[in-house]
Structure 1
Amino acid sequence: MEILRHVVVLVHLIGFAVLFGTWVNEAVHRRIRFTQLMNWGLLIAAVAGIILAAPFGIEWELNYVKLGVKLVILLVIGALLGIGMARQRRTDSLSPALFWSVGALTFANAAIAVLWR
């Protein structure tokens, strides 16, 4: 069961890596836009995170405050991506505030996962 949990943690990290890596790529190339790959990264991270929040087969107590904070941040990132993608389709441009907010929140979510014990 522990190996399965480690595999799900890996998938969770890959989801955030896809989201943040795609965001960094767009930022480095000075393209202020959201891509479909960002949505996929968010979906992968969200599904794996929800699976990790299930207390099956572990001997320790889960930190539900941390999980709640991470879930709220994930939902905000999803909302910003949804709003940004809709505006981007309609006007073919994206607010830099939306773009930079997604990057900062994604970084913050990964930092919370690693630093908050």
Structure 2
Amino acid sequence: MDVVTKVFVGLHIIGIASLLGGFLTQMKPMSAGTARYTPAMLHGALTMLVTGIALVGLNQAQDHSLDNVKLGVKLGILVVILGLVYVKRDEEKVEKPLFLAVGLLTMVNIFIALLWT
């Protein structure tokens, strides 16, 4: 069971990398006002959602104690990210504040995972 959990943690990190990497590749177009949400960002957010839910289930199955408030905050932030990326995924340009919001929320989610104990 421990190996399965580690595989899902790895996939979760890949999802984060895809979302944040997609954001970072659009930094130059963002300064020109032509940034858009890439498919990698949508797929990364979906990967994070699915693997995050799987990780919660695997940890509960092993009777590990979980911080439900932390998980709820992280899920809420991810739902906002996913909503923004999904709704605006087909637009040629995304407004700078909305685009920045996804990057900042992604980084906030990372720091919550690392620093909230």
Structure 2: how far apart are the matches of 1:68 and 1:100?
22
- The residue correspondences of 1:28-39 to structure 2 (distance < 5 A) are 28-30=28-30, 31-39=34-42
Q: Are residue 13 (structure 1) and residue 13 (structure 2) matched? A: yes
CA RMSD, Structure 1 to Structure 2 (Å): 1.4
Which runs of 5 or more residues in structure 2 are unaligned? none
For 1:83 and 1:39, locate their aligned partners in 2 and report how far apart those are by CA, in whole Å. 10
Which residue is equivalent to 2:82?
A: 78
TM-score by length of 2: 0.88
Query: Once the 2 structures are TM-superposed, how far is the Cα of residue 29 of structure 1 from its aligned partner?
Result: 4.8
Deviations 1:8-55 (A, max 9, x none): 111111101110011101114545111111111111111000001111
Query: What one-letter code is carried by the residue in structure 2 that aligns with 1:11?
Result: L
What is the total number of aligned residue pairs between the two structures? 112
Secondary structure of 2:88's aligned partner: helix
Q: Residue type matched to 1:38 in 2? A: M
Aligned to 1:69: 73
Structure 1 residues without counterparts, runs of 5 or longer: none
The residue correspondences of 1:1-117 to structure 2 (distance < 5 A) are: 1-30=1-30, 31-54=34-57, 55-58=60-63, 60-86=64-90, 88=91, 92-117=92-117
Residues 72-108 of structure 1 deviation map (CA, whole Å, 9 limit, x = unaligned): 001000111123225x1xxx32111110000000111
Residues 29, 95 of structure 1: CA spacing in aligned structure 2 closer, same or farther, 3 A cutoff? closer
Task: Name the CA distance, whole Å, in 1 between partners of 2:15 and 2:102.
Answer: 14
CA contact (8 A) 1:34 1:84 kept: yes
CA contact (8 A) 1:84 1:95 kept: no
8 Å Cα contact 1:84-1:98 kept in structure 2: no
Letter in 2 for 1:69: V
